[in-house]
């Protein structure tokens, strides 16, 4: 794993998100878990070599950030925003997250096949969040402060994890560093506001949800990517292009590569991004999932 600071480790070369952990004077805090089984087991072992795992924070509900929780059972309290808890491994008409995780095993983690659970076993106990909050939450672990900042946009329950003592923020998928941005069902207006919130932090390093570790100035690049997508699709709508015409003509595939292990999905990303924005701009934005009252903290059974 890459050592960002003496206490922060992250892995940016796996299919899926950038799983990370932070060592403190009173144990370890994990931030997101590897989607691939053998990598999750290896990361747990490495993290525990630095001390007991106190907390596991999930920055969003997408499967590449949470599937590996299964392999961290008994290792600390799982913490997440209410928006993550409510959508944890929920299937949609377009995607079954368990099937998506299984699809990656033959190509990206064949050695993980032996420890990949069957669907019934997994769904009985996937290691869901047990400490659930809305708004922001601050955890104090040993000599470190973990500010969990609600930064919705990419997903309703999106959080960033700010460590002032390390001058680092884990942005989750609010930042796709030097790789294709997945808009999916995002709320771009909220996303832009979240980027502005992160821009106000006094940090030296950003650990993104995908792509290489980067500097705070990259927040402006991410903002530009979002605005370019919105501008291009808005222009298409203004010209009277249909949904199909917009999907065919609006394309940013030449800007960045797809993140590791998903090169075959470039066309899908372009289609999904253009189509979802066309839907929003022509039918009006969907009401965001506001969850429960801001600032509330809940305990839930894993």
pLDDT in tens, 98-139: 999 999 999 999 999 999 999 999 999 999 999 999 999 999
Residue 300: pLDDT band (50, 70, 90) is very low
- In the chain, where the domains are located: 2-173+185-217+294-299, 221-283
What number of other Cβ atoms are within 10 A of residue 253's Cβ? Answer: 12
Paired tokens of 234: 């808005």
What does the pLDDT read at residue 272? 94
**Predicted local distance difference test score (pLDDT) of residue 93:** 81
Q: pLDDT of 30-85, one tens digit each? A: 999 999 999 999 999 999 999 999 999 999 999 999 999 999 999 999 999 999 99
How many Cα atoms sit within 13 Å of 209 on the Cβ side? 27
In angstroms, the CA 60 to CA 185 distance is: 13
**Cβ count near 236 (within 10 Å):** 22
How does residue 301 score in pLDDT terms, banded at 50, 70 and 90? very low
Determine the Cα–Cα distance for residues 207 and 168; give it in Å rounded to an integer. Answer: 7
User: What is the pTM (predicted TM-score) of this model?
Assistant: 0.92
Please check whether the domain covering 2-173+185-217+294-299 is classified as CATH 3.60.15.10.
yes
* Token output for 103: 């699809």
pLDDT tens profile 143-153? 999 999 999 99
**pLDDT of 271 above 60:** yes
**Quick one: average pLDDT of 216-243?**
97
């Amino acid at each position: 794993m890459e050592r960002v600071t003496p206490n922060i480790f992250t892995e940016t070369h796996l299919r899926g998100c950038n799983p990370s952990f932070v060592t403190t004077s009173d144990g370890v805090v994990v931030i997101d878990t590897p989607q691939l089984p053998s990598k999750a087991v290896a990361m747990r072992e490495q993290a525990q070599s630095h001390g007991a795992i106190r907390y596991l924070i999930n920055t969003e509900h997408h499967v590449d950030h949470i599937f590996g929780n299964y392999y961290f059972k008994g290792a600390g309290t799982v913490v997440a925003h209410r928006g993550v808890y409510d959508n944890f491994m929920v299937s949609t008409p377009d995607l079954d997250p368990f099937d998506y995780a299984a699809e990656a095993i033959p190509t990206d983690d064949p050695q993980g096949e032996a420890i990949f659970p069957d669907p019934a076993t997994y769904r009985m106990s996937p290691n869901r969040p047990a400490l659930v909050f809305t708004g922001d939450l601050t955890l104090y672990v040993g000599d470190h402060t973990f500010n969990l900042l609600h930064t919705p946009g990419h997903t309703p329950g999106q959080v960033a994890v700010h460590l002032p003592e390390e001058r680092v923020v884990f942005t989750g998928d609010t930042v796709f560093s030097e790789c294709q941005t997945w808009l999916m069902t995002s709320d771009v207006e909220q996303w832009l506001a979240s980027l502005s919130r992160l821009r106000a932090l006094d940090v030296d390093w950003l650990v993104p949800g995908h792509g290489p570790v980067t500097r705070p100035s990259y927040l402006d690049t991410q903002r530009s990517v979002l605005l370019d997508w919105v501008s291009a699709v808005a222009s298409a709508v203004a010209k009277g292009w249909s949904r199909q015409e917009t999907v065919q003509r609006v394309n940013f595939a030449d800007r960045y590569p797809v993140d590791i292990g998903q090169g075959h999905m470039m066309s899908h990303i372009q289609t999904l991004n253009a189509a979802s924005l066309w839907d929003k701009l022509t039918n009006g934005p969907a009401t965001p999932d506001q969850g429960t009252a801001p600032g509330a903290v809940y305990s839930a059974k894993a």
